[in-house]
Amino acid sequence: MNLFGLHGKSALVTGASSGIGKRVALAYAQAGAAVAIAARHHEPLQELAADIADGGGTAIPITCDVTQPESVDAMLNRVDHELGGIDIAVCNAGIINFDGLLDMRPEEFQKIQDTNVNGVFLTAQAAAKSMVARQRAGSIITTASMSGHIVNTPQQVGHYCASKAAVIHLTKAMAVEFAPHNIRVNSVSPGYILTELVEPYIAEYQALWEPKIPLGRLGRPEELVGIYVYLASDASSYMTGSDIVIDGGYTCW
């Protein structure tokens, strides 16, 4: 079981102020990693850092806009300076809305891509550069979505589907390019998960989504953390370029 431990490792989790990112950061701290937690809003990061500290862990809250290269570089500089480098990077920040493509303004489409695709690229690239500079093997994990495999209905989220499909294939490309540096890159594709991102749509859509899920319910964020710990740990040392779908069976039919 020592293969699953993260003791002595440093991790970065973006989009850590809530939802999946928050639970992953907590799990990494419990597994022994020192964790840098990043998001646009500082107050929830401070609260999460305090929770991790109360549990005996180490957490550094960093305010960052992953769409801005300067902000991402500053984030990695802090990780390098305060944690002595990086071993694990979780590129998790993402946004969504339910605006249909027919009437969508180009700038709104671009906003989704900037966060969901460019943000992943910028964060992963900066993390990989840090790992290469220190000749450290590492694991980069991206949060994609089942929406990168299927088109969700009845809501209209074509812009989100496009962004997550891009994340899945970008992950595979990075896996190939970073492999000579012993850096692994994998993605996780959640289905409908009860996070703050989904909560505004629950009242209208939950009864429409659940009959399409073989397990008959939405997932919980804590049901995803096991795969993020696995991908960050030495237990997955021969795994790269993979996408793991965790969707209660939604994409099976």
Choosing from 145, 163, 187, 236, which is the catalytic residue?
145
Residue 77 CA to residue 128 CA, distance in Å, equals 13
Annotate 151-184 with DSSP letters as a single string: ---SS--HHHHHHHHHHHHHHHHHHHHHGGGTEE
Our answer to whether residue 228 is catalytic in this structure is no
Our answer to whether residue 192 is catalytic in this structure is no
Choosing from 22, 164, 230, 233, which is the catalytic residue?
164
Distances (CA, A) of 179 to 60, 184, 193: 28, 6, 31
Annotate 95-108 with DSSP letters as a single string: ------TTT--HHH
Our answer to whether residue 10 is catalytic in this structure is no
Residue 209 tokens, joined: 């989504």
Choosing from 28, 160, 192, 230, which is the catalytic residue?
160
By C-alpha distance, which of 89, 2, 11 is closest to 57?
Answer: 11
What amino acid positions are annotated as catalytic residues?
145, 160, 164
